[in-house]
Amino acid sequence: MEDEKFKERKKLLLDLIYDKAYVPMKAKEIAMLLSIPKSQRGELEEVLSALTAEGKIGISKRGKYGRPETFSLTGIFSGNARGFGFVTVEGQEQDVFIPEEKTGGALHGDKVQIFIEREAGAKGRAEGAVLRILEHANREVVGFYQKNKTFGFVIPDNRRIAMDIFIPQGQDMGAVTGHKVVVCITDFGDGRKKPEGKIVEILGHVNDPGTDILSLVRAYGLPEQFPEEVLREAGQAPDVSEGDLEGRLDLRDLPTVTIDGEDAKDLDDAVTLEMNSGGNYILGVHIADVSHYVREGSALDAEAFRRGTSVYLVDRVIPMLPHSLSNGICSLNAGEDRLALSCIMEITPDGTITDHRIAETVVRVDRRMTYTAVNAILTDGGIEPDGSGGSCPEAEAYREFVPMFLKMQKLADILRARRRRRGAIDFDFPESKILLDGEGRPLAIEPRQRNAATKLIEDFMLAANETVAEDYFWQALPFLYRTHDRPDPEKIKALGIFINNFGYHIRMQQGEIHPKELQKLLDRLEGTSEEALLSRLVLRSMKQARYTTDCSGHFGLAARYYTHFTSPIRRYPDLQIHRIIKENLRGGLAEERRAHYEAILPQAAIQSSALERRAEEAERETEKLKKCQYMSRFVGEEFTGVISGITNWGFYVELPNTVEGLVRMSDLADDYYIFDEKNYELVGERTRKAYKLGQSVRVTVSGTDPVLRSVDFVLAEDAADRETREEAGAPDEEREETNDGEGKY
């Protein structure tokens, strides 16, 4: 405990440093100012160190002391399963790296104050240390409980929370090993002491049906139920009346279709296509007018803002809006009058959008089409240009719409070709669909391929998003844009060095790259064995898209103007800009309303971006979990895969079904392997055998871990060799110790 003299000295120094006239000084200068003799300067530094450790004062790189905010930055800590983390500081492009020993006990999501110890430079991003935690983000944590004799601990489901949580005796609610639990943190600990908590809810055993996904839903803080007030508001939404149609453009006579997946119920976009007398296309993209029913300031609006986006998990959808709206009055169901906000574009045969109109409309969808049916018509129908012919059942069933679908395909091809000419990047990664039984057990993993119909809708939605963004940029109104910044030059430089190993190159000018260069690379990669690998590396070298109030363009699409206009049922930014558009169409935005939107949009952009990240991470983790469960059925079986990632602890192998597993370096039995960072490969010290990215290998599934959601592989030849030795009764080779204490085989 501090004595009174030490407390007095701390107060004296705080009064000095917080005085308005004070400027940062070194300890020696402070000693001279306070007339502290040399014999007592050690005591002064002891007090200064204590105040720094408490976060009450800060210290610069040159050893000058001042208020914490003078030398520190504030941001959000993003944890990593291996203990280190990054801090995102508003206004800074690059995150700050925080080594494991300098996280100060911060957990994922915490608001922290940090000190920069090494500025960004040739060696990479800036590096810092957490001075103090300003705000804890994890009052409750979901995880896997393990019980010991007198205590227990919880391994968080969110692997970004790298520390287990200690559960004292009597604080476990009777949970046993294997239970998924919710733990309330009672003591957050620090860099030396783990967090401590008590269990407040048992979700079920890890093997109980549904517990796995429920645990992840809770772990990511995804909202499970709508408040009663929100459901009540949604239930009171009226049907379309004559009064609703007043002032709207009536498009109910136009042949109109929706094109979605078979299981989609929230149909928020419909399309129409005509040709005018000048031979130009008139493309209509009609989006459900959700803002008519979700009014600003309502309980529905507050809940939509809180959720930010719909979340699509393996076994369920967590919607942004209640189903009575998203699947009901806001869904563009066939045969029903529906209110819409439409972007109607005139497009020349070369893909130039020469004119457009954005209007409040009323539409009536004629056919609810699926991607499968439209793709069959476009690829298997045997259709003639005049719409005659047609050898597939879908072409016969929708014969009156076949000519329109053919024109749509032609226009989509034109728009896509135009985007590619300007340099837009088209990533076409294989996605997977996991089929589950009634109890949530994975039955199969099937590829989910883009086809002619999905690409067609993508092309039309992109055209509408760009058109709306450009219109409102030039009107200089407050707005939300979808921004994708240029990649970091250092990352692109590293990518260029790496792909040289495969015989490819990219051209940079003055440290920057045009997206067309990356698309050229992807074109050259198409059909090669390294396509999937290098395409992913190209993607990882780019920045994440986000929502902003400034229209700084979309690098990946090579678009100067871009926004999200087409999905107000499932994305809050789309809903928000619909309100602005409608107010503007009804007489413009008065100064008061401009000021209102300028005040609220920055926070809407930040929150929507953060909630989108949360949703994407939760979706990835539920997929990893089900893939892990699926592969547990194949322990001991062999597969052929491709090396998709290399680290200094082993390499990852991706199977054709998109499952990825780790071959640990310690399991490579034929040699001691070293990670060659320059060539990004593992090289045997004795044999010089190398494992490289993109290399095809045979692996055996050696195990799965549902807690870590991971799959472990061993090389098939190593597994066979071990099995032979075990059958012969031969012991495993001993691990020899070298002079420096490091083991090698």
User: Other C-beta atoms within 10 Å of 223: how many?
Assistant: 14
Cα gap 388→396, rounded to integer Å: 10
Q: Domain for residue 628, yes or no?
A: no
473 pLDDT exceeds 70? yes
| CATH code of 28's domain | 1.10.10
* Average of per-residue pLDDT across 84-113: 86
Backbone dihedral angles phi then psi of residue 486, each to the nearest 5 degrees: -60, 145
Which stretches of 299-352 are assigned E, i.e. beta strand? 311-312, 317-318, 337-347
**Same structural domain, 291 and 355:** yes
pTM reported for the whole predicted model: 0.81
697 pLDDT exceeds 90? yes
Amino acid sitting at position 28: K
Cα gap 190→103, rounded to integer Å: 9
Cα gap 180→156, rounded to integer Å: 10
**Same structural domain, 123 and 30:** no
Q: What is the pLDDT, as a whole number, of residue 739? A: 31
Q: Are 230 and 307 in contact (CB under 8 A)?
A: no
Residues found in the chain: 745
Q: pLDDT (tens digit, 9 = 90+) per residue, 18-34?
A: 988 899 999 999 999 98
* Average of per-residue pLDDT across 665-684: 81
* Average of per-residue pLDDT across 667-682: 79
Q: Domain for residue 240, yes or no?
A: yes
Q: pLDDT (tens digit, 9 = 90+) per residue, 533-581?
A: 788 888 888 889 999 999 999 999 999 999 999 999 999 999 999 999 9
Q: What is the pLDDT, as a whole number, of residue 735? A: 31
Q: Domain for residue 611, yes or no?
A: no
Q: What is the pLDDT, as a whole number, of residue 438? A: 87
Which stretches of 119-248 are assigned E, i.e. beta strand? 127-135, 140-147, 152-156, 165-167, 179-187, 196-205
- The confidence band for 412, taking pLDDT boundaries of 50, 70 and 90, is very high
Q: Are 303 and 230 in contact (CB under 8 A)?
A: yes
Q: Which is it for the CA torsion 237, 243, 249, 251, positive or negative?
A: positive
Inter-axis angle of helices 299-307 and 591-631, to 10 degrees? Answer: 50
Q: Which two tokens stand for residue 53?
A: 């450790």
- The confidence band for 658, taking pLDDT boundaries of 50, 70 and 90, is confident
Q: Domain for residue 318, yes or no?
A: yes
The helices-and-strands tally (H runs, E runs) of the chain is 19, 35
Q: Domain for residue 32, yes or no?
A: yes
How many domains would you assign to the chain?
A: 6
Q: Does 117 or 151 have the greater pLDDT score?
A: 151
User: Other C-beta atoms within 10 Å of 24: how many?
Assistant: 19
Which residues, in sequence order, are CB contacts of 359 under 8 Å at separation 6+? 248, 249, 341, 342, 344, 585
| CATH code of 194's domain | 2.40.50.700
**Same structural domain, 29 and 89:** no
Last residue of a domain, one of 17, 43, 66: 66
**Same structural domain, 197 and 253:** no
Last residue of a domain, one of 208, 227, 253: 208
Q: C-alpha 291: how far from its chain's center?
A: 26
Last residue of a domain, one of 49, 66, 83: 66
Q: What is the pLDDT, as a whole number, of residue 114? A: 87
* Average of per-residue pLDDT across 336-340: 96
Q: Domain for residue 609, yes or no?
A: no
Q: What is the pLDDT, as a whole number, of residue 481? A: 97
**Same structural domain, 452 and 506:** no
Q: Domain for residue 221, yes or no?
A: no
Which residues, in sequence order, are CB contacts of 111 under 8 Å at separation 6+? 74, 75, 76, 77, 133, 134, 135, 137
Q: Domain for residue 508, yes or no?
A: yes
**Same structural domain, 455 and 313:** yes
**Same structural domain, 262 and 361:** yes
Residue 156 buriedness (CB in 10 A; 0-12 / 13-18 / 19+) = buried
Closest Cα partner for 451 from 556, 347, 369? Answer: 369
- Which secondary-structure segment (H or E) carries 444? strand 442-448
| CATH code of 108's domain | 2.40.50.140
Backbone dihedral angles phi then psi of residue 479, each to the nearest 5 degrees: -160, 160
**Same structural domain, 177 and 291:** no
Q: Which of 243-247, 279-283, 737-741 has the lowest mean pLDDT?
A: 737-741
Closest Cα partner for 109 from 213, 185, 198, 210? Answer: 185
61 pLDDT exceeds 90? no
387 pLDDT exceeds 70? no
Q: Are 153 and 146 in contact (CB under 8 A)?
A: yes
- Which secondary-structure segment (H or E) carries 245? helix 242-245
660 pLDDT exceeds 90? yes
**Same structural domain, 316 and 453:** yes
Q: pLDDT (tens digit, 9 = 90+) per residue, 255-304?
A: 999 999 988 888 999 999 999 999 999 999 999 999 999 999 999 999 99
Backbone dihedral angles phi then psi of residue 358, each to the nearest 5 degrees: -110, 125
**Same structural domain, 520 and 660:** no
Q: What is the pLDDT, as a whole number, of residue 181? A: 94
Cα gap 618→222, rounded to integer Å: 9
Q: What is the pLDDT, as a whole number, of residue 123? A: 61
Q: What is the pLDDT, as a whole number, of residue 745? A: 21
Where is mean pLDDT largest: 21-35, 98-112, 456-470? 456-470
431 pLDDT exceeds 90? no
Residues of the chain above pLDDT 90, percent: 53
The one-character DSSP state at 271 is: E
Domain around 86: 69-135
**Same structural domain, 183 and 197:** yes
Amino acid sitting at position 734: E
Q: What is the pLDDT, as a whole number, of residue 744? A: 23
- Contacts of residues 273-279 at CB distance under 8 Å and 24 or more positions apart, as own/partner, are 273/404, 273/407, 273/408, 273/411, 275/407, 276/346, 279/349
Q: Does 499 or 661 have the greater pLDDT score?
A: 661
Q: Which two tokens stand for residue 685?
A: 């010290």
Q: C-alpha 126: how far from its chain's center?
A: 23
Label the pairing between strands 257-260 and 367-370: parallel
731 pLDDT exceeds 70? no
Q: pLDDT (tens digit, 9 = 90+) per residue, 194-211?
A: 899 999 999 999 888 888
384 pLDDT exceeds 90? no
737 pLDDT exceeds 70? no
Q: What is the pLDDT, as a whole number, of residue 311? A: 95
738 pLDDT exceeds 70? no
**Same structural domain, 686 and 740:** yes
Cα gap 185→181, rounded to integer Å: 12
Cα gap 116→128, rounded to integer Å: 4
- Please provide the DSSP assignment of 600-618 as one string: HHHHHHHHHHHHHHHHHHH
Q: What is the pLDDT, as a whole number, of residue 293? A: 96
